[in-house]
Amino acid sequence: MIEYYCKQVIKEGNFFCFYIDNEGMLQQFEKLIDENVGKLDYATNVKGRMTSWHFFKKNILFKQLMNHIVPFYDKIKITEWVKFKPTVAVQDAWGTIMQKDEFVEEHTHMGSAFSSVLYFDNYADLQTEAGPFKTQRGKIITLPGWCCHWVNPIKEDVKRYTLVWNWNPTNDDIINRDEKDAHSV
């Protein structure tokens, strides 16, 4: 279901990709995005339709996706995971739909170690300061949160869907510390 590879980008560090071949899951995500855009349409750097920032964060289908891919994140060798199983803290997760002439302004995801995007088509490449990345249905591209990126205006009369999430690596010590802090309040 998932293929892993890591693309070394000297200027910006590592980007990595996974491929999801579960067509039923992809169609369910598209339906959820279709039914829930409107909260942030044209109000952010996404000059298109958008769900709320946190729409997918607690969604059961999104949690299933994360359960499938998190075990592969340990191949990145993130310091926080050296002694522990890989765990992620998702900060936010949202969906977008862009159509002809819509685009995403140049931006970063500062405050997050990583940002990942699930693509549902190949209508527009992901542009980054480290160069472009081809998109395709079921491809998840993960990039460092500080890497500047954007999407050029869509040239075709299509609906381009994406599911985006910002996340940080964590580990059992951090989780236990945070739970202890939460209960001491």
**What are the tens digits of pLDDT across the range 72-130?**
776 666 666 666 667 788 999 999 999 999 999 999 999 888 899 999 999 999 999 88
Q: What is the DSSP string of 50-97?
A: E--TTTTTT-HHHHHHHHHHHHHHGGG--GGGSSS--EEEEEEEEEEE
Per-residue model confidence (pLDDT) at position 158: 97
Ordered alpha helix ranges (H), the chain = 23-36, 60-73, 172-183
Domains, the chain: 5-183 (2.60.120.620)
Are residues 169 and 88 in contact, defined by beta-carbon separation less than 8 angstroms? yes
- 29-43, pLDDT tens digit by residue? 999 999 999 999 999
Q: What angle do CA 84, 7, 104 make, to 5 degrees?
A: 100
- 2-18, pLDDT tens digit by residue? 444 455 544 445 778 88
Q: Tokens 């190949």 map to which residue? A: 122
CA distance 69 to 117: 13
